[in-house]
Structure 1
Amino acid sequence: MNHVVLTGDRPTGPLHLGHYFGTLANRVALQDVHPMYVLIADYQVITDRDRPGEIQRNITGLLLDYLAIGLDPAKVTIFQHSAVPELNQLLLPFLSLVSVAELGRNPTVKDEIAHSKQQAVNGLMFTYPVHQAADILFCKGTLVPVGKDQLPHLELTRLVARRFNERYGPVFPLPEAMMGARPLLNGLDGGKMSKSRGNAITLSATEDETAALIRKARTDSERLVTFDETRRPEVANLLTLAALCLGRTPQDLADEIGHGGAATLKRVVTEAVNEFLRPIRRRRSEIGEAEARAVLAAGNERARERAVLTLDEVRGAMAMTAA
């Protein structure tokens, strides 16, 4: 089957190594196999926060990161929510296919509401799984790389597609989840790796910034370095990070470091990460912001052409007259 892949990110800050090993590397591989749309979800930034921050600056940062890691705009359509009004217009008929009770039962929405940065939950937060359905279905997406926590959103997308097809005729495919064994990287402080917690190594970090972050990383007082995720999670996390960058196993690295202690461990991790990021940093420095913006403009145009076709098809199925 020839799949169409839909994936993307919210422009809330710089991408980091957790993103790279969790999803970005997979996108680079998939771009040679299937047509791919990469969404910069700027409208989703305002779902869970009263102050969205520097959205335009973050969009430019995302574009530079995408191009630096090897996403090829000749193969991949990179676009942003707000530049494709026909995509967003699909939200209206899609909302008519979902009950308020079904939206309220979505466990991912419940969790994100609980961690919202808003004083009060807004309507967009409550309905954004349907917005995500529009993101996927506007391009007739059939394959969506997701984590386990996003499966309820994809199931709602399948529900919307199925109900539309039953009510108005066959228009949309039922997208499938693409789940892989993604490596779990915690932050350098032992907590969840996050843009906002300052515990992540961003793809745009300099060598000195990377070294400083790793120097502050949590370890323990045992001299012998071993890979034990249960008893020594902080040490195991650093070993995992270095191993991913080097293409080796954490256990192999631990055996090599041996009694070198935390100082040797951090030196090995710093060298591994900086060596891994060096070509990404070089490519990023070679790409101008004007070039990145031109890539986005071209992607927005292609995405809008696709969205216009889908919206016309939806209007036709619903016996509406296109404007």
Structure 2
Amino acid sequence: MTSKKQRVFSGIQPSGNLHLGNYLGALKNWVALQDEYENYFCIVDLHAITVPQDPKVLRQKIREVAAIYLASGIDPEKSVVFRQSRVSGHAELAWLLNCVARFGELSRMTQFKDKAQKGGAESASVGLYDYPVLMAADILLYNAHLVPVGEDQRQHLELTRTLARRFNNQHGETFVVPEPMILETGARVMALDDPTSKMSKSSPVQGSYVAILDEPDVIRRKIRRAKTDSGSEVTASPDKPAITNLLDIYAATTSRTVAELEGEYEGRGYGDLKKDLAEAVVEALAPVRERALALLDAPKELDDLLEAGAEKARGAAHRALGDARTKMGLD
């Protein structure tokens, strides 16, 4: 008798342009999880609207993210792929958890502080402030055992764990307390123009990231212009953050080690590294780009697929939400 698979939940916002860091740090790893786990891969569009969005652009980006998920190798026969906003349980459970969460806990969330500093906390939406509770609802709604997270989301996942334990203590055993799934390979890809900052899909600087849908010549140009460090040795070290980043990207793209690459480029310069890295990235992303663009040419099929995924997700979410409502006295 086979044991029941553990459940994994993860999602990406449909804002900005999905980039090489999303592919290496998330999508490639998600694809590798499909046979071993029961996976729920979500397009978290409710999170996207915590900051102003152009509705027309958002609709297109939702489809774009779905197309990239599928083009990367996520199989809707093996994994549930859906839009967060098409499963009303996410918003409903978020409200129930809001009544368990503490104001002080949310006030300590560093990501809100960072984002609010840019536009001013006074003008930040309540949704942006409450984002971690919605994230907790996303995960607990499916009683996920594991959540693939990068360092920037560790604090939010810890809040999810806190809310699950608190709810269970107050109302009786209801939610699985999820564990972080730390994916080391390619987990942290830094910006091409600033190796001290993570590659961001919402960056206004086009040259800071390689978008998954970038044309090959655009990729080559961006990598050619990537920041480098002083000196000429192709080695990874704390005093060479830019070259370390390029080597990390190269290693994650080609499934080689940084040490192997350092040996290969011994006595060679940064120019050789960038030229070869660009070709490796072009080769890795080309089939994903071509498949995604083909899928985007059939928007109705994409929408139907997402709706079928949402139907499956609603079925899975119904039990946890119903249990939480009953335990709080609402049913």
TM score, norm. by length of structure 2:
0.87
* 1:60 equivalent in alignment to 2:63: yes
Of 151, 161, 186, which residue of structure 1 is paired with 2:190? 186
1:151 aligned partner: 154
2:311 aligned partner: 301
- Cα pair distance change 1:163/1:78, threshold 3 Å: same
Query: 1-side partners of 2:120 and 2:66: how far apart?
Result: 25
1:229 aligned partner: 237
Query: Is there any run of 5+ residues in structure 2 with no aligned partner, and where?
Result: none
The C-alpha deviation readout for 1:179-208, integer Å capped at 9, x for no partner, is: 232433222213431222321111111111
Would you say the 8 A contact 2:236–2:247 is kept in 1? no
Query: 1-side partners of 2:119 and 2:241: how far apart?
Result: 28
Query: 1-side partners of 2:59 and 2:154: how far apart?
Result: 29
Query: 1-side partners of 2:126 and 2:194: how far apart?
Result: 34
Instruction: Tell me the secondary structure at the aligned position of residue 11 of structure 2.
Output: strand
Stretch moving more, 100-109 or 195-204: 100-109
1:125 aligned partner: 128
**Partner amino acid, structure 2, of 1:228:** A
Offset at residue 297 of structure 1 (A): 1.0
Query: 1-side partners of 2:95 and 2:229: how far apart?
Result: 54
1:313 aligned partner: 323
- Cα pair distance change 1:189/1:117, threshold 3 Å: farther
Query: 2-side partners of 1:117 and 1:142: how far apart?
Result: 36
* 1:267 equivalent in alignment to 2:275: yes
Of 198, 213, 218, which residue of structure 1 is paired with 2:227? 218
- Cα pair distance change 1:174/1:228, threshold 3 Å: closer
The C-alpha deviation readout for 1:266-307, integer Å capped at 9, x for no partner, is: 221122111222322333244333332222111111112222
Query: 2-side partners of 1:271 and 1:304: how far apart?
Result: 42
Identity %: 36
Query: 2-side partners of 1:182 and 1:39: how far apart?
Result: 21
1:74 aligned partner: 77
**Partner amino acid, structure 2, of 1:194:** S
Would you say the 8 A contact 2:135–2:160 is kept in 1? yes
Query: 1-side partners of 2:243 and 2:171: how far apart?
Result: 56
Stretch moving more, 107-116 or 131-140: 107-116
Query: 2-side partners of 1:228 and 1:101: how far apart?
Result: 40
**Partner amino acid, structure 1, of 2:217:** D
Would you say the 8 A contact 2:29–2:183 is kept in 1? no
Query: 2-side partners of 1:206 and 1:21: how far apart?
Result: 18
Of 142, 166, 169, which residue of structure 1 is paired with 2:169? 166
Query: Is there any run of 5+ residues in structure 1 with no aligned partner, and where?
Result: none
Query: 1-side partners of 2:85 and 2:121: how far apart?
Result: 21
**Coordinate RMSD, CA, aligned:** 2.3
Offset at residue 59 of structure 1 (A): 0.8
Q: Which 4+ residue blocks in structure 1 deviate beyond 6 angstroms? A: none
**Partner amino acid, structure 2, of 1:143:** L
**Partner amino acid, structure 2, of 1:284:** A
Stretch moving more, 102-111 or 143-152: 102-111
The C-alpha deviation readout for 1:32-61, integer Å capped at 9, x for no partner, is: 1111111211111122x2345621111111
Query: 1-side partners of 2:70 and 2:170: how far apart?
Result: 41
- Cα pair distance change 1:252/1:142, threshold 3 Å: closer
**Partner amino acid, structure 1, of 2:307:** A
Offset at residue 260 of structure 1 (A): 4.1
2:98 aligned partner: 95
- Cα pair distance change 1:43/1:117, threshold 3 Å: farther
The number of aligned residues is 319
